[in-house]
Amino acid sequence: MSYIIDRRLNSKKKSAVNRQRFLRRYKKQIKHAVEESIKKRSIQDMDRGGEITIPRKGTSEPLLHHGQGGKQTRVYPGNKEFDTGDEFQRPQGGGGGGAGQGQASNQGEGEDDFSFSINQEEFLDFMFDGLELPYLVKKQLMDATQFETHRAGYTQAGSPDKLNIVRSLRAAHARRIALSGSDRNEIRELKKQLWSLEKEPICDVNSQKIRALQEQIKALDINKKRIPFIDDFDLRYNNIVKTPVPSSKAVMFCVMDVSGSMTQSIKEIAKRFFILLYLFLTRNYKQIEVVFVRHHTHAKEVDEEEFFYSRETGGTIVSSALELTAEILQERYPRSDWNVYVAQASDGDNWDGDSQRCCKLLSEKILPLVQYYAYVEITNGPHQNLWNEYQEIHQKNPEQFAMQHIEDVADIFPVFRKLFERKTKGAA
Amino acid sequence: MKKQPISTGAEWTFELIEKYDQEIARIAAGFGLDTYPNQIEVITSEQMMDAYASVGMPLNYHHWSYGKQFVETEQRYKRGQMGLAYEIVINSNPCISYLMEENTMTMQALVIAHACYGHNSFFKGNYLFQTWTDASAIVDYLVFAKRYIAQCEERHGIDEVESILDACHALMNYGVNRYLRPKPLTAEEEKERVNAREEYNQRHINQLWNTIPKKEEGDTDSKQARYPSEPEENILYFIEKNAPLLEPWQREIVRIVRKIAQYFYPQKQTQVMNEGWACFWHHTLLHQLYDEGLVNDGFMMEFLHSHSSVVYQPPFDSPHFSGINPYTLGYNMMQDIRRICEKPTPEDREWFPDIAGSNWQETLDHAMRNFKDESFIQQFLSPHLIRELRLFSIVDDSDQPTLKVSAIHNEPGYRRIREELSAQYNLGNREPNIQIYDVDVRGNRSLTLRHFIHNNQPLGEDTEEVLKHIHTLWGFDVHLESVTSDKVTSANYHCPSKEKLELY
């Protein structure tokens, strides 16, 4: 007797836990592999999952087994020409007499490395692991200056300006009806009697009765009128509650020098830096706007395509870009609504007299408005005056202003990490 | 009398599976196959990968190595580097077999014959499985193990549990009893044992961990007495019972891994026989279906195609060669035994006087029940088959500059090849012989293991790593010495490592 069971609808993810355990155990290696792949990948598919390769060494469980050497005898099938006593050289590679162990892959897939796929979320998790934007938590949780007010029904207490007249009068009316109920019943009865009496032929008895009834009705009416038209009890006020809203909007300014000295490869490096920042912000904010500001001697707000790929020449005046940034900030992104991040990339060139002006602009007009300002200098040469000026600012605002030096594509990610590494509580 | 075929298309339905199962069951019973009841489960390829990842068991505790297995399988499957097995069968009562949804009707019938009647009857009949595994309890035990380990993880943290499991997995091959045979005890024996155990425990506690030096006893005899008095080859068992620092829950985890290792031990020892038996029977059963007219030619063509690719043995110089295919060897030996019974040649009469010409069903049944790979090959590998597979043996001695062909398929070579092949399936030869040799009970409680060198084969490079795991379990220093047959120590391993001493 056999039972036949359809298990196809059973849960499929039986191995999910084990898979997570595996990822957890080799976190370090996987993270390393993710970082490597960030370096190699083109930006467009940065936020996709993909294949990850980690060294096979260390991922297998060790076992006690025989090593190479000693005397081994093995039986093989398919003899063609050998006779007893034949001797021949050990074949090179492929494990001499040991016979290929199990599942040697004969395609070019190196068995030294262990590849597997992770999805987008896992990829980004590994990429952003341990990173945290400075003041992010602070801004979101402690900065309770922004409130949203909204209606939440009615209350019986409140200030006069919140009085809801319609509701209050309705309540008064209802109260009056409720309190005068018995009197009105009586009046109705008495009136009925009165009408019936009035229909009858007039005689003394009747007119006396009518007068009595009219007296009674009058008394009751007076009674009824004694109920106050409106009472404290009737007042209704609009209820309005305030809820603190963490700002979930961020704006990111990409500021880049596009003067003649910036080559395409430097721009590429800068681009990667911007993209990383953007990806990181998408993880933390619901809504992100990006503003691209490029400059040589003049600054201009442009779209992404133009920002990265159009060629410009000319000198460099950094302050022009900072001025424009400050303007845009003031016009479009009030501090109360927006978390502002500025990332500036440059090769360090600046017109000599301008650096001081930059310094002033930054500390007076920009830094008070922004959450975080990151400056990366992409150059192989020595630092110039801009770097020195910025260093001063950095010393004054170490938490808000960060600067790093990049030489090569491979440096971006470490720098990125350094810029946004988890700040210890004490430092914040 | 030709009947209507049961089905003609490739599509399967549950009704058809049921019908095939009934017919195959009828024929199998006719051949005298004794099986557990079958539980046939249809699953998807994803579920098949899940099953792969948890060593084929329907459920198992969580461990990263299963996760690794899973991502590996998934990756290779997605890339098309490997196909999935058509079935997985579990030694349980009822015997659970997984059929993949993607299989055609023919494949489902093949799997039913192969797993539900072939493997199933082997699980029920073979002495190793009968001795060492309890088919009716395994699923319940796994449920217990999974729950217990999950509880431990909650209580003591995933990392703690993982480190114990890692250590146990490294020693899994050394967690089995090889020779003990449990026999049912009478009530009296049981009582005696309880007394003996109590007494033993009493003594054992004193002897092992009593660190207060005894006064007037001579030092000499305490130095000579080793603990354990006989070397112990079941390392996990020894650790479970004796490791001084393990918490009770850790001991229980050691025990769980040990039990599961024991459950799989017979499968490792009977791979050739088990697969050979299953292949022989799917071949025989499906041919019988064909003879009765229950399946058509198309069915047989498809069946034979996959049958022959399963039992194909690439020659040693082929790029696809990866050792002797256990399916080929097993299947051919089973067919060969039947041939010897039915149409013995003079050579067979000389080599197998007791089975030549006997009833083939009885002989095969006897072979299935009472052997493991090693003894099965030693007993039944015939010169005929050695010639057919053109077997030859090569000696690889690291002291010699060249490899040497020691035997081929000729008169002087038959016996030698048979012996070599049999030895190749002897687990005792394949795994280094390592035993618990001594515990320094009066000193630093260090544990000494001894590797008895066989054929000059040294230990592999993982040894240090494994020693670390033993150290995790034991809690005190661990030493491993490789000793040759003439009692010379050729290598020492220590954990925590002193400088590694290599004495040649």
| pLDDT band with cut points at 50, 70 and 90 for residue A107 | very low
- Note the pLDDT tens digit of each residue in B139-180: 899 999 999 999 999 999 999 999 999 999 999 999 888 876
A200 and A293 share one domain? no
- A114: chain B residues, CB-CB within 8 Å: 68, 72
Report if residue A260 sits inside a domain. yes
- How far apart, in whole angstroms, are the C-alpha atoms of residue A330 and residue B366? 93
CB contact under 8 A, B456 and A100: no
Q: Does A7 touch chain B (CB under 8 A)?
A: yes
Dihedrals phi, psi of A160, to nearest 5 degrees: -55, -30
Query: How many of the other CB atoms lie within 10 Å of CB of B104?
Result: 15
Q: What is the pLDDT of residue B478?
A: 92
**Chain A: closest CA distance from residue B223 (Å):** 30
pLDDT of B503 reads 45
**What is the end-to-end Cα distance of chain B in Å, rounded?**
76
Over residues B70-126, the pLDDT tens digits come to 888 888 887 776 666 777 888 998 999 998 888 889 999 999 999 999 999 999 999
Q: Which of residues 129-158 of B touch A (CB under 8 A)?
A: 158
CB contact under 8 A, B457 and A75: no
Give strand ranges (E) for A77-229: 87-89, 113-118, 147-155
Is any Cβ of chain A less than 8 angstroms from the Cβ of B89? no
pLDDT tens readout for residues A308-343: 777 776 778 888 888 898 888 888 888 777 888 888
Q: Work out the pLDDT band at A112, boundaries 50, 70, 90.
A: low
Looking at the structure, tell me whether residues A284 and A339 fall in a common domain. yes
For residues A335 and A374, membership in a common domain is answered with yes
d(CA A125, CA A52): 14
Looking at per-residue pLDDT, the higher value among B348 and A411 belongs to B348
Counted across chains A and B, CB pairs separated by less than 8 A come out at 273
Q: Are A359 and A283 in a shared domain?
A: yes
Rounded to a whole number of angstroms, the CA Rg of chain B reads 26
Answer yes or no: do A312 and A398 share one domain.
yes
Q: Are B171 and B67 in contact (CB under 8 A)?
A: no
On average, the pLDDT of chain A sits at 76
**How far is the alpha carbon of A13 from chain B, nearest alpha carbon, in Å?**
8
- Do A299 and A203 lie in a common domain? no
Q: Cα–Cα distances in Å, from A160 out to A157, A236, A238, B174?
A: 9, 10, 10, 86
The per-residue pLDDT for B348 is 92
Q: Which of A74, A80, A84 sits opposite B413 (nearest CB)?
A: A84
The CA distances from residue A195 to A203, A207, A220, A224, A291, in Å, are: 15, 12, 17, 21, 85
pLDDT of residue B499: 56
CATH number at residue A363: 3.40.50.410
Residue A183 lies in a domain: yes
Indicate the pLDDT class of residue B416, thresholds 50, 70 and 90: very high
- What is the distance between the alpha carbons of residues A251 and A310, in angstroms, rounded to a whole number? 23
* B309 CB within 8 Å of a chain A CB: no
Could you report the per-residue pLDDT of A6-19, keeping only the tens digit for each?
A: 888 877 777 888 88
Mutate one of B17, B27, B47 to test the A interface: name it (highest A CB count within 10 A).
Answer: B47
A192 inside domain: yes
How far is B147 from B62, CA to CA, in rounded Å?
Answer: 10
Q: Which residue has the higher pLDDT, A306 or A92?
A: A306
When pLDDT is cut at 50, 70 and 90, the band that residue B44 belongs to is: confident
How many domains are there within chain A? 3
Mutate to test the interface with A, among B46, B50, B430 (most CBs of A within 10 A): B50
- Taking only the tens place, the pLDDT of each residue in B464-504 is 889 999 999 999 999 999 998 888 888 888 888 765 444 44
Q: How far is residue A370's CA from residue A335's CA, in Å, rounded to a whole number?
A: 8
Q: How far apart are CA B439 and CA B419, in angstroms?
A: 37
Residue window 192-231, chain B: list those with CB within 8 Å of chain A: none
Residue A26 placed within a domain: yes
Q: Is the ipTM of this complex over 0.85?
A: no
pLDDT, tens digit, 9 for 90 and up, residues A43-80: 445 556 677 788 777 778 888 888 888 888 889 998 88
Q: What pLDDT score does A39 carry?
A: 60
Hey, which residues does A402 pair with through a beta bridge? Answer: A374
- If one compares B306 and B198, the residue with the highest pLDDT of the two is B306
The CA distance from B54 to B69, in Å, is: 8
Dump strand ranges (E) for B81-136: 87-90, 95-100
Count of CB atoms within 10 A of residue A284's CB?
15
CA-wise closest residue to A126 among A417, A411, A408: A417
What residues of B are in contact with residue A102 (Cβ under 8 Å)?
322-323
Mean pLDDT of B58-74: 87
Q: A165 and A292, same structural domain?
A: no
Sign of CA dihedral A411, A415, A417, A418: positive
Query: Does residue A384 share a domain with residue A254?
Result: yes
Q: Render B327-362 in DSSP notation, one character per residue.
A: HHHHHHHHHHHHHHHHS--HHHHHH-TTTTTS-HHH
Nearest to B434 by CA among B238, B246, B250, B259: B238
Note whether A172 and A229 are within 8 A (CB): yes
Taking CA atoms, A94 is separated from A97, A104, A296, A404, B382, in Å, by 9, 9, 62, 50, 31
Count of C-beta atoms within a 10 Å radius of residue A98: 13
Give the start-to-end residue ranges of the domains of chain B: 14-126+282-305, 311-428, 432-495
Q: What is the pLDDT of residue B224?
A: 60
What confidence category does residue A283 fall into, taking pLDDT thresholds of 50, 70 and 90? low
A316 part of a folded domain = yes
Q: Which of A293, A290, A303, A289 is nearest to A257 (CA)?
A: A293
Q: State which H helix or E strand residue B494 sits in.
A: strand B489-495
A201-213 average pLDDT score: 78
Please check whether residue B435 is in contact with residue B452, taking contact to mean a CB–CB distance below 8 angstroms. yes
Give the strand pairing for B38-43 and A401-406: unpaired
CA distance B465 to A314: 63
Q: What is the DSSP code (8-state) at residue B459?
A: B
Give domain status of residue A200, yes or no.
yes
**Closest A-chain CA to B95:** A2
Q: Which residue of B has its CA nearest to A86?
A: B405
What pLDDT is stored for residue B134 in this prediction? 86
Distances (CA, A) of B308 to B14, B303, B348: 27, 9, 26
Contact map slice: B 391-420 vs A, CB within 8 A: 391-399, 401-410, 412-413, 417, 420
pLDDT in the model for residue A41: 61
Give the range among A173-187, A357-371, B193-207, B428-442 with minimum mean pLDDT.
B193-207
pLDDT tens digits, B204-242: 665 555 666 655 544 444 456 788 888 888 999 999 989
Q: How far is B334 from chain A (nearest CA, A)?
A: 18
| A270 and A368 housed in the same domain | yes
- Which residues between 41 and 70 in chain A have a beta carbon less than 8 angstroms from any beta carbon of chain B? 51, 59, 61-70
For residue B308, pLDDT over 70 is answered with yes
Q: Which of B18, B71, B90, B490 to mutate to test the interface with A (most CBs of A within 10 A)?
A: B71
State the DSSP code for A142: I
Mean pLDDT within B313-323: 88
Q: Is the pLDDT of residue A138 over 80?
A: no
Residue from the list B54, B393, B453 with its beta carbon closest to the beta carbon of A75: B393
A231-248 pLDDT tens trace:
888 899 998 887 766 666
Report how far apart, in Å, the C-alpha atoms of B289 and of each of A231, B299, B467 are.
Answer: 98, 10, 55
Residues 6+ apart with CB under 8 A from B248: none
Beta strands in A127-245 (DSSP E): 147-155, 237-244
Quote the minimal CA–CA distance from B403 to chain A in Å.
5
Please say whether the beta carbons of A11 and B60 come within 8 A. no
Determine contact: A246 vs chain B, CB below 8 A.
Answer: no
Q: State the pLDDT at residue B208.
A: 56
* Residue A61 to residue B424, Cβ atoms within 8 A: no
* Residue tagged 């110089």 (tokens): B317
pLDDT over 80 at A396, yes or no: yes
pLDDT at A426 over 60: no
| Domain boundary, last residue among A188, A206, A239 | A239
Residue A101 has pLDDT above 60, yes or no: no
Share of chain A above pLDDT 90, in %: 4
**Above 80 in pLDDT, residue B7?**
yes
Q: In 10 A of CB B458, how many CB atoms?
A: 18
pLDDT above 90 (res A415): no
pLDDT value of residue A134: 42
Check whether the bond before B319 is cis (ω within 30° of 0).
Answer: no
Structure confidence at residue A94 (pLDDT): 43
Most confident of A45-49, A295-299, B62-66: B62-66
The three-state secondary structure class of A313 is coil
pLDDT for residue A407 is more than 60: yes
In a domain? residue A147: no
Interchain contact, B319 vs A106, CB within 8 Å: yes
For residue A38, the enclosing domain spans: 19-56+113-129
Q: Pick from A2, A8, A22: which is nearest to B44 by CB?
A: A8
Beta-carbon separation of A66 and B457 below 8 A: yes
Q: pLDDT: is A256 or A242 the higher one? A: A256
- Asked whether the predicted pLDDT for residue A427 surpasses 50, the reply is no
CB-nearest to B465 from A6, A62, A66 is A62
* Predicted confidence (pLDDT) per residue in B248-284, tens digit: 999 999 999 999 999 999 998 999 999 999 999 999 9
Same-domain check for residues A211 and A273: no
Answer whether A119 touches B (CB < 8 Å).
no
Cβ neighbours for A242, distance < 8 A, ≥ 6 positions apart: A147, A148, A149
Q: Report the predicted TM-score, pTM, of the whole model to 2 decimal places.
A: 0.69
Across chain B, what does the average pLDDT equal?
87
The verdict on A358 and A409 lying in the same domain is: yes
The pair of structure tokens assigned to B320 is 């696809």
Mean pLDDT of B440-460: 88
What's the pLDDT at A247? 61
